[in-house]
Amino acid sequence: MTELDLKLVGHNAVRLDGLEKITATAKYADDIDLGPGMLYAAILGSPYAHATIKSINTSDAEQVPGVHAVLSGQDCPGTCGLYLKDSQLFARDRVRYVGQQVAAVVASSQGIADKAISLVKVEYEPLPVLQDPLEALKPDAVLIHPDLGDYEVVPWLYPQPGTNIAHLRKIRKGDVEKAFEEADYILEDWYHIPHVVHAPIETHVSAALYTFDGRLTMWNSTQSPHTQRNILANVLNLKHKDVRIITPYVGGGFGGKAGVNMEVIAAACAMKVPGHPVKIRYSRKDEFQNTSQRQELKAYVKMGVKNDGTIVALKHQLFWDVGASAEYGSNVVNATGFSATGPYRIPNVWIDSYAIYTNRPPCGAYRGFGYSEFHFGIESHIDRIAKALNMDPVEFRKKNAIQEGDTVAYGVEMGPTGILKCIDEVAKAIEWGKESKSDDVNRVRGKGFALVWKAPAMPANESSAAFIKFNEDASINILVSGMELGQGFMTAMGKIAAEELGLPLEKVRVELPDTDRNPYEWQTVASHVTWSCGNAVRRAAIDARNQIINVVSIAHHIEEADLYLEDGTVKCHAKPDFALPLEEFVINGIQMSDGTFRGGPVLGRGSFMPEFTSAKVDPETGMGGHPNVHYTTGAGAVEIEIDKETGRVRVLRMAEAFDAGKAINPDLVKGQIEGGFVQGLGTALWEEVIFDEEGRIRNPNFTDYKIPTSLDAPREMHSIIVEVPQLDGPFGARGVGEHTMIPVMPAVANAIENALGIRIKSPPMTAEKIVQALKEETGKSL
């Protein structure tokens, strides 16, 4: 043990409270500085998309001055994963995608770590590379996970050992074949949606400190502090009480910082050098190839309708490329399988949703959780069928839109929905039916429409908890573990508590997560925290309010039913002059006439778990359970202008409406609509991860991977809130965060068809694709 080790042991053993100061001064994870003893890690990625590892030689790296440790698969035998444990900390027997972590070096500076990692020698033997999910399904395809049958998996996923299928969700409702026989018109076709990346401005960052008392403390840029703690404790054989995750503000997540990623490597590195903090910060290239991407989808859609426009049958087969690991992406595939009808009333349904391994980077949660992808095919199909029947696309959607009491694909009744009002509001804002013409003869205009629904994709026993503690001045601290990602979570929780406790908002502070201090939250994903964590916060506020009312009732001999809270004061319906400021007693209690006190510090607690959900369904039909808690529905439309000389698309106007149940903060909901639209616009017009034949990403940077900027946003944006209350939501609220980008891709595709008469079936709908499609359609260029 070095002198520095001994100093750090003493320092960390007696001054762990200093971590609070470090966190308080660091706004983001990348700001974390744990002092002069901090070490830095560099990671070696595989140059092959698929290969066996013959040998790893780290001796040269170990000899570099300043290197403290070198790790490889032999040092980290565990596997990890949220739903399917198919992921290794470092590849041991084989690599399955370009960039997969093979080894790491921990050194006194980033430069030394980078130099040393280049000296690690790995001998590989290449294997066949699979990049097409349909090719990976063939019986003679090489198996990417030969040990699939040995992996630990949650009971509601169905991996198929001996294949590349990590999961298959089936839905069978009604008699699909008979319905197709009776249909007047049938349209079937394929759609392809490519991989995209999350592209947060802040890349993944983690700092970890493991002390000699067996304590692991981490500062992570994550959406999932408690879930990370659980995964890390299990894979590293630590007790949960000895793992602490502290989460500063997150500089963009969009699903890419859900679950666990490089944080487990930071933890393993820190455990190798006890007493030394270790930091890992991903580069932009790392962010592209070593964090989860959005799944590629190849979708087959067959829909049958009557001449009056009634949809009678749907066969929807979704072939998802989940990459080299399905530890998170398998749930995307599962969730979309239940909902791949789109927001429509369809009596006969056949859905197959496949999670298929390939030799591309692992895929997982991305804003929309697979709904953007399958909606592209469904909503494109809807427009094409309406055109074939000579029906207005909006009227066709209104005729078939699902309503409260209708039966969804898995046999459960649809809950409250304002989808028809959303349709009407968007149609009005976009001036549907009114032709738009450009003043420039070289430009044409078109309008496109799309519907959307999405359910929170989460386990049946997802749960949230909250503490509310009063301070001497009657201000409150709300302790929750939902993450502020820029979506306004903290403001929403503050408003819910303030409403129940009769406090001005300036008296409320919502704390960032710290798993030692803040109570449990599953993850900040699935657009569920306003609903779930909001319910927990409301219950905690009601608990605190009841304590306040009770002690005042006892001390002042007033019926509890007559007391209420307003403006930081307890008031009485029966005694208009009665007013007791909260700061007089929420800590010190109320003194009685005999000199004794009643009450004491007020601490509210609340928890929430949906008690009607069940993942126990028939694996062959999807029937028999209640996998989703509710759906948020909405509509979106665009008006575009296309330059006939270049094929460039510009969005002139957008309109989106969503049934938020109750908008806790209307301005934030509108901000989510605008931001989600712009993100969706990127996937519609520019974004695509491009791979070469060897499985390497060709555009792992913002020079070659185009994301939208403020200059691409339409100048006219209509963000519309509809409110049909969610009966079990806090004040009727339900989430809208992900939904706002879902209608954009199909709405743009439908607008292009409206303007030019061409149908593009694979985004991004670039200028080049438009020119090529028109050539194929008409035999001439624009």
CA–CA dist 657, 663 (Å, integer): 12
Among the listed residues 379, 641, 656, 738, the single catalytic one is 738
Q: From residue 32, how far is each of 24, 281, 514, 570 by CA, in Å?
A: 10, 11, 15, 43
**Six token digits for residue 549:** 């009312």
Compute the half-sphere exposure of residue 141: CA atoms within 13 Å on the CB side of its CA.
22
CA–CA dist 58, 66 (Å, integer): 15
Residue 91: partners with Cβ closer than 8 Å, 6 or more residues away: 46, 53, 73, 100, 101, 102
Residue positions counted in the chain:
782
Q: Which residue has the tokens 């520019």?
A: 686
H or E element in which residue 751 lies: helix 744-756
Residue 71: partners with Cβ closer than 8 Å, 6 or more residues away: 90, 103, 104, 105, 106, 268, 269, 272
3-state secondary structure of 169: strand
Q: Are 669 and 70 in contact (CB under 8 A)?
A: no
Q: From residue 347, how far is each of 300, 311, 350, 394 by CA, in Å?
A: 19, 8, 10, 21
CA–CA dist 509, 111 (Å, integer): 41
SS3 content of the chain, % helix, strand, coil (to 5): 30, 25, 45
CA–CA dist 264, 228 (Å, integer): 9
For the sheet containing 508-511, what is the strand order? 508-511, 476-479, 464-470, 603-608
State yes or no: is 738 an active-site residue.
yes
CA–CA dist 46, 73 (Å, integer): 13
CA–CA dist 270, 199 (Å, integer): 27
Give bridge partners of residue 189 from the DSSP assignment: 301
Please give the full DSSP string across 18-83, using - where no structure is assigned: HHHHHHHH-SBGGG----TT-EEEEEEEPS-SSEEEEEEE-HHHHTSTTEEEEEEGGG---EE-SS
Which residues have a catalytic role annotated? 738
